[in-house]
Amino acid sequence: MAHRHFILHKPFGYLSQFVTDAKKKRLLGELYPFPEGTMAIGRLDEDSEGLLLLTTDGRVSEQIRNGGVEKEYYAQVDGLITDEALAALEQGVTIGLRDVKYQTTACQARRLPEPPALPPRTKRIRDDRHGPTSWVSITLTEGKFRQVRKMTAAVGYPTLRLVRVRIGQVHLHNLAPGAVQEVAALTA
């Protein structure tokens, strides 16, 4: 049996899984008739959106998840992020993971000069009367639970919207939220 591979733009409000005990949660299987045995390579939390890779091949999943592959995120943060905060993100910050503290590895962080051209989110974030926001690009090679959100909060700029735009050489480009593209192979 040939393995199948997919690129998905996970919309806001969906879990990165096919089965859950939680009631009234939106799941990936609602978006496309994925074949049995399809698994998400990594996860995006329910409030995050963007690029998600899926496969029926466990070896491909393992290679991408544990191979030091870059993952780039665009984060809209509360406030106008400073150069000092960006430098702290790049050096690594201490975040909480369950009951332990974790030091993130060095990453790339830069301010985006303009808001990215992303589709509007289904749930409004907030309006301008709550103060300014800014957008940053953060590129990691690790992926801990809610890591980007915890990192931006650790430097004083909580994340309001989070979109993964790239995994390795695979880009989200203009794939619409909820859209799925089947590909011949996944190499990050």
In the chain, what are the domains? Answer: 5-67+169-183 (3.30.70.580), 71-167 (3.30.70.1560)
Of 21, 45, 78, 83, catalytic: 45
State the burial class of residue 118 (Cβ atoms within 10 Å of its Cβ: 0-12, 13-18, 19+).
middle
Both tokens assigned to 99: 């009951």
Say if CB 165 and CB 118 are below 8 A apart. Answer: no
CA distance 118 to 167: 17
Give pTM, 2 decimals: 0.93
Residue with tokens 């899984």: 17
Per-residue model confidence as pLDDT tens digits over 48-106: 999 999 999 999 999 888 878 999 999 999 999 999 999 999 999 999 887 889 999 99
Query: How many other CB atoms sit within 10 Å of the CB of residue 132?
Result: 9
Q: Is 128 a catalytic residue?
A: no
Whether 107 has a pLDDT exceeding 70, the answer reads yes
Whether 128 has a pLDDT exceeding 70, the answer reads no
